Structure 1
Amino acid sequence: MGILRWRKVSFRESFQLALMLSQGGEFAFVILTKATGLRLFTMELADQVTLIVGLSMALTSPLVVLQRKIWHCRSETVPDQDAYWDDHEPEVIIAGFGRFGQIVGRMLQARHVPFTAMDKNSDHVEFVEKFGNRLFYGDLTRLDLMKSAGIKSARILVLAVDDVEESLHIVDLAREQNPNIHIVARAIDRFHAYELHKRKVENVIRETFASSLEAATETLEHLGYTEGQALAITSMFRKHDEEMLLKFVGHMDDMKELQQLAQQGRLELEKLFEQDSKNPVSS
């Protein structure tokens, strides 16, 4: 809490975050079991720590709710920050509020950044109004809906829908209405990523790419590579793959050229790995 106050975060936010971080986690039980097995802890001490962690997990949520109620009672006469959101268009639009869009929304909400949520399914977005944000549901490719959501004044569009054609249509609409909008887009697969790059989307997030690289890193570490070596290998692969992706964008209609680029890419990657094996990366 002291660090947050030093960083000029409000007392209310600092206290609430400190309260939420005070609880232990399930991983503590894993560590305790391992430590007890290695005889680093006595069973008596392990039982005491287990009790403390369990109580912290059980009590944190009720304490956070109680803190919010107390703070609400004390600040009834103080203008709420949410009132600002009612009179100003949110700068961020999240189009698609399923599992992908909800994570983005939760992180923005945690920093009190107002946003507009859009989704086909009203069940996905109805609750966001409780936190002072705006919502729209329906066909996201409808121009009138996009205008109502504030696409002309928004700074950032987080494109999180899981349908490729719908995603590309929304990009085209957004660019027509607001050429300067910054788009952060979810890509379902490589073809989708190509099409988004062709439309000059600034940030293309491939849905399974980062998690696959994380899995590869873990696999290499379990095979005996150091953490530094595993991270260096996956970093090399990420950079190479992203470079190849951008090369392919301009040749999507030329199958012969794509095949040549793919072959060239495989040879380049093999050469990089061969060079790396001759000059191992230390941890």
Structure 2
Amino acid sequence: MDSFLSQASIYLAAAVIAVPIAARLGLGSVLGYLAAGILIGPVFGFVGAEAEELQHFAEFGVVMMLFLIGLELEPRALWAMRHHLLGLGGLQVLGSTALLTAASMAFGLSWQVGLAVALALSLSSTAIVLQTLSEKGLMRTGGGRASFSVLLTQDIAVIPILALLPLLAVPQLASFTEDGSIARVTDTHDAHHHSLSLVEGLPGWAVALMTLGAVAAVILAGIFLTRPVFRFIHAANLREMYTALALLIVVGISFLMTLVGLSPALGAFLAGVVLANSEFRHELESDLEPFKGLLLGLFFITVGAGINTDLLLSETGDVLGLALLVILAKGVVLYFVGRSFGLRRRSLWLFTLGLAQAGEFGFVLLTFSQQLNVIPGDLSEKLLLVVALSMLITPALFIAYDLLSRRMTDNRPEQEPDEIDEEGPIIVAGLGRFGQIVHRLVSASGFKTVLLDNDLKAVQLMRRFGFKTFLGDPTRPELLKAAGIGKARVLVVALDDREKAVQLVDYASRTYPDLHIVARAYDRTHVFQLYRAGARDIVREMFDSSLRAGRYVLETIGLSEYEAAQAEQTFYHHDRMTVRELAQYWKPGVPAADNPEYIKRAKELHRDLETALLELAEKDDEKRA
């Protein structure tokens, strides 16, 4: 018990320290777990041989992850994405596998070993790439959407790869008797983990029937059995029973798959897809997510702890060269696949550089291949280092993309700005959802507006609905002059680009001091930037809707409509004053959490707000009395 507690403390402490640091540095949680494992294993020697045994337990996190992936993939959604999944993603996996297999055979490996190696290295890092795309705001770009499609295809491709790998090792793992039945598996690892079997000793046709029956049982149970069982559990009114049921589903299905000789991950994924349309899907996700995250984290820590640092130090050149070779080979395939699907310039380079590394599934597949004796142990150790190193290089690949992106212009032809032949007292710059609503209210009230936007699609949409709209960059002074900004009374700045919005406000406030500027802001930091630039009426895009939601909450818990409206108005006016006050303490480039003067003043203003709302409540009580 003492040994278990000490080892658990070491693993948890390493994760708690290393992962947040890696996340703050933009390296992602997977690299944080790997670094934690390297530190407590090869570097400091806090853990030893037990890491390998612990890894077998932690592999169950991969099973849970595939179950949760299945829950996210409704059959209808998969069918709608079939062209990108089968085309873009399928070509990437097949092309990378073919090129890496050829390279492996050129290094003297057999085709079985080369194929297993290529399959493991062809998959990219879902965790690192998705996190980086989200942090950089690139998910909605063409390259970001294409990358997501490929990553989704790779997640699904893990299932057939796991099913294929044992076939590559059939000569080493099993032999067939004269009557066609499967003899006992001779591999010690496999014998240890599959001592129970429903198909051992059966003829081939019986094995096939038993396997199909197990798959059919999983599908039928997911369709017909889950609702009654969940209702039964719900009647107990015990929260922990939901968690127990979620674990039972995954563990039970995994056990059934091992009994018929299939991958537990395959059964878990299949069950997840079956339950994707269930009303209990979100309950299952919330119950299993913490277990999945911890077990996966533990798996990556054990991988890091098992890395052969002596091998890394003695063969640094070989490992680094192989990592760069993998990135180059995958990059070539990604480049040509992306071009064939119409990606160009920034999107193409984001797609190429963002997915060129090997991924976390590489650890799973390489470890699994070694256990099946598909890949020799010494080669597997070197390839684990290659995967880890390629993932460590990923931030540098995104930096390279940023450098290339700054030197590029969009590949689409530049649209000539329209000749503006109208003027009006109100100019609306930017026709997204925000700008459209402002225009509709003002024009419906009988006031003339001049509409400007640099997005051709937005302009064409407005014209389709009968609104005269001009194409052009609203930040260009000559365009603003043609729109009559010198005579206009109000400029509405509703641009999607935050920097351009600040640029436009700064120019307009300096050049036309009598012009009233109403600006849209994304958040409080953007408010301060616009305020410094000269805007005075600044609307945060979520602020008013959040206020209305808060008023509904107050009405629901017992305040009258009048009282809730008064509280809403008090908060509104106090927040406007607060923004003006805090703008004096705001420092560009310094997070609010690192600005003690800002925090101190914000706390004082919040206490003032509480006092004002309490005084308002007391006045309402006096009126009722």
Normalising by structure 2, report the TM-score. 0.29
Deviations 1:44-79 (A, max 9, x none): xxxxxxxxxxxxxxxxxxxxxxxxxxxxxxxxxxxx
Q: What is the aligned counterpart of 2:605 among 239, 243, 265?
A: 265
- Aligned counterpart in structure 2 of residue 122 of structure 1, from 456, 464, 476: 456
- What amino acid maps onto 1:119 in structure 2? D
- One-letter code aligned to 2:478: D
**Which of 170, 174, 185 lines up with 2:508 in the alignment?**
174
Q: In structure 1, what residue type is equivalent to 2:598?
A: L
* Aligned counterparts of 2:619 and 2:577: Cα–Cα separation in 1: 23
**Do residues 245 (structure 1) and 579 (structure 2) align?**
yes
Q: Hey, what does 1:188 align to over in structure 2?
A: 522
Work out which of the residue numbers 188, 209, 218 in structure 1 matches 2:552: 218
Query: In structure 2, the residue corresponding to 1:118 is in which secondary structure?
Result: strand
Distance 1:87 1:207, change over 3 A: closer
Alpha-carbon distance, 1:187 to partner: 1.7
Amino acid of the structure 2 residue aligned with 1:265? L
Secondary structure, counterpart of 1:151 in structure 2: coil
Displacement, 1:87? 7.4
Alpha carbons of structure 1 residues 131 and 263: separation in structure 2 relative to 1, 3 Å: closer
| Residue 165 of structure 1, aligned match among 488, 499, 510 | 499
The residue number in structure 1 matching 2:447 is 113
Higher helix share: 2
1:148 shift after superposition = 3.0
Q: Classify the secondary structure of the residue corresponding to 2:574.
A: helix
Match of 1:230 in 2: 564
Task: State the one-letter code of the partner of 1:239.
Answer: H
Q: Which residue of 1 aligns with 2:330?
A: none
Q: Does structure 2 conserve the Cα–Cα contact (< 8 Å) formed by 1:136 and 1:149?
A: no
CA distance in 1, matches of 2:525, 2:507: 20
The 8 Å contact of residues 153 and 178 in structure 1, kept in 2 or not, is answered as: no
CA contact (8 A) 1:115 1:133 kept: no
The residue correspondences of 1:15-94 to structure 2 (distance < 5 A) are 89-94=423-428
CA distance in 2: counterparts of 1:239 and 1:140, whole angstroms: 31
Say if 1:90 and 1:116, in contact at 8 Å, map to a contact too. yes
Taking the aligned partners of 1:270 and 1:108, their CA distance within structure 2 comes to 35
Structure 1: state its 5+ residue gaps.
1-85
**Secondary structure, counterpart of 1:180 in structure 2:** coil
Give the conservation status (yes or no) of the 8 Å contact 2:505–2:534: no
Change in Cα spacing, 1:275 to 1:91, as seen in structure 2 (3 Å) is closer
Q: How far apart, CA to CA, are the structure 1 residues paired with 2:482 and 2:507? A: 13
Shift of 1:207: 1.4
Structure whose residues are more often strand by fraction: 1
Q: Report the secondary structure of 1:243's partner residue.
A: helix
Q: CA deviation at 1:246?
A: 0.9
How far apart are 1:272 and its partner, in Å? 2.8
Match of 1:72 in 2: none
Q: 1:112 to 1:277 in 2, by over 3 A?
A: closer
Within the candidate set 447, 468, 480, 1:146 is matched to: 480
| Equivalent AA in structure 2 for residue 234 of structure 1 | E
In the aligned structure 2, how far is the partner of 1:262 from the partner of 1:145? 40
TM-score, length-normalised on structure 1? Answer: 0.61
Percentage identity across paired residues of the two chains: 35
Check conservation: 1:92, 1:155, Cα contact below 8 A: yes
Q: Give the match's secondary structure for 2:428.
A: strand
Conserved? CA contact 1:217–1:234, under 8 Å: yes
SS class of match (2:470):
strand
Q: Extract unaligned runs of 5+ from structure 2.
A: 1-419
Work out which structure has the larger RCO, using CA pairs closer than 8 Å and 6 or more positions apart in sequence.
2
